[in-house]
Amino acid sequence: MQMTSAPHLLAEDGPEYERILGDALRHAHERPDLEGVGDRLNTEQLRTMALGATALITAAAATEYEHYIKARGELRRAAAVEGAEGAGGLPGLDGPQSTSAGSGAGIGAVITVLTPLLAGTAALIFLLVGYLLKAVSPSLTFGRSMVTAGWFFACVAAAAILVAAVGLLVTALRNGATSLAAEEEEQELPEEVARAREAWRHALLERGILPFFRDALADPTAGPAARTPHRSPNRIPKVGYSRPDFSGPDDGPAAGPRPTFTSPDFTSPDFGGPEHQPD
């Protein structure tokens, strides 16, 4: 689920808000005031609610966030001014030369890609024709020359493939080092900006996210995390077979006690022994 945009939260700080929210949810069970997590609301429900209430939560740390944005903006403006001055003070870094350097790099890449392909194709053709000529006329000198040229182009293709592989490896290592340097530069912020960012994170967690979780868990309308079918308190649980409940029309008064039926008492006739029977 994407985070709802807030008017006072920049888009570049949205991932940071989600990261702080995720950390708070991962450590929610360690806080006694959030002991209801998993009973009434689970972490996914809390995450969805918090992402939907981004504007409300981030407003609790608006002062610290404004200070952080101001400090970060001043740092970026200073870096932009220094970069512009450095580019203007070095001769030869104008637009046309930069364009020609880029075109040179593009030509080098094209050559690196096409050389193995062209050399391999030439080697295949020369070897095929040379060996066919040698098979037809072994004494023909032109056939041996074609075979020699074919093996030469095969060596060129192999060397070009090796150079291209080395170039790709060097480029990958260079890009990896550049990305690591960029990450380290981003992490190593000036002290003022680092303090402002940490103050915003702390205020966002303590005054925004955690109080929102506590209010959500204390809400009596919040259902349990694992809902069970609702059962009426007057409903008899069905075990085996139970009779249906009948009620009178218009929910009238309950009927009186049902008449009971008592079986009659039957007694057997008095039969005497054989001495009492008539002759």
Same-domain pairing of 80 and 197? yes
| Helices 95-136 and 141-187, axial angle in degrees (round to 10) | 150
Same-domain pairing of 172 and 120? yes
Where do we find the tokens 């429900």? 45
How many domains does one find in the chain?
2
The answer to whether residue 203 is domain-embedded is: yes
pLDDT for residue 202: 96
Q: d(Cα 114, Cα 111) in Å, to the nearest integer?
A: 5
**Can you give the pTM of this predicted structure?**
0.46
68, 196 Cβ separation under 8 angstroms: yes
Q: Is the pLDDT score of 233 beyond 90?
A: no
Q: d(Cα 189, Cα 141) in Å, to the nearest integer?
A: 73
Same-domain pairing of 134 and 80? no
Question: What is the rounded average pLDDT for all residues in the chain?
Answer: 73
pLDDT for residue 2: 47
pLDDT for residue 225: 52
Same-domain pairing of 79 and 196? yes
pLDDT for residue 234: 44
The answer to whether residue 269 is domain-embedded is: no
Same-domain pairing of 20 and 71? yes
49 closest CA partner among 223, 227, 200: 223
pLDDT for residue 137: 81
Same-domain pairing of 22 and 76? yes
Name the burial class of residue 47, with classes exposed (0-12), middle (13-18) and buried (19+) by CB atoms within 10 angstroms of its CB. middle
The answer to whether residue 150 is domain-embedded is: yes
Report the pLDDT averaged over residues 60-70. 94
DSSP 8-state code for residue 41: B
Same-domain pairing of 20 and 149? no
Same-domain pairing of 77 and 199? yes
The answer to whether residue 54 is domain-embedded is: yes
pLDDT for residue 17: 95
Name the burial class of residue 80, with classes exposed (0-12), middle (13-18) and buried (19+) by CB atoms within 10 angstroms of its CB. exposed
Q: d(Cα 276, Cα 279) in Å, to the nearest integer?
A: 9
Q: d(Cα 220, Cα 232) in Å, to the nearest integer?
A: 19
Q: What angle do CA 111, 115, 121 make, to 5 degrees?
A: 150
pLDDT for residue 199: 95
Q: DSSP string covering 199-257, please?
A: HHHHHHIIIIIHHHHHHHHH-TTPPPSS------TTPPP--S--PPP---GGG-SPP-P
Question: What is the tens place of the pLDDT at every residue in 74-96?
Answer: 988 988 887 776 555 444 444 44
Same-domain pairing of 78 and 209? yes
Question: What is the tens place of the pLDDT at every residue in 164-195?
Answer: 888 888 877 776 655 544 454 555 678 899 99
Q: d(Cα 24, Cα 211) in Å, to the nearest integer?
A: 11
Same-domain pairing of 150 and 176? yes
Number of Cβ within a 10 Å radius of residue 161: 16
pLDDT for residue 187: 56
Percent of the chain with pLDDT over 70: 63
pLDDT for residue 21: 94
The answer to whether residue 244 is domain-embedded is: no
Question: By three-state DSSP, how is residue 37 classified?
Answer: strand
Structure tokens at 2: 């994407």
Same-domain pairing of 68 and 206? yes
The answer to whether residue 246 is domain-embedded is: no
Could you tell me the pLDDT band of residue 279, with boundaries at 50, 70 and 90? very low
Domain containing residue 212: 13-84+192-224
Percent of the chain with pLDDT over 90: 28
The answer to whether residue 94 is domain-embedded is: no
Same-domain pairing of 159 and 202? no
Question: What is the tens place of the pLDDT at every residue in 112-128?
Answer: 778 888 888 988 998 99
The answer to whether residue 250 is domain-embedded is: no
Of 164, 186, 208, the position where a domain reaches its end is 186
Report the pLDDT averaged over residues 135-140. 80
Q: d(Cα 126, Cα 141) in Å, to the nearest integer?
A: 14
123, 154 Cβ separation under 8 angstroms: yes
Could you tell me the pLDDT band of residue 63, with boundaries at 50, 70 and 90? very high
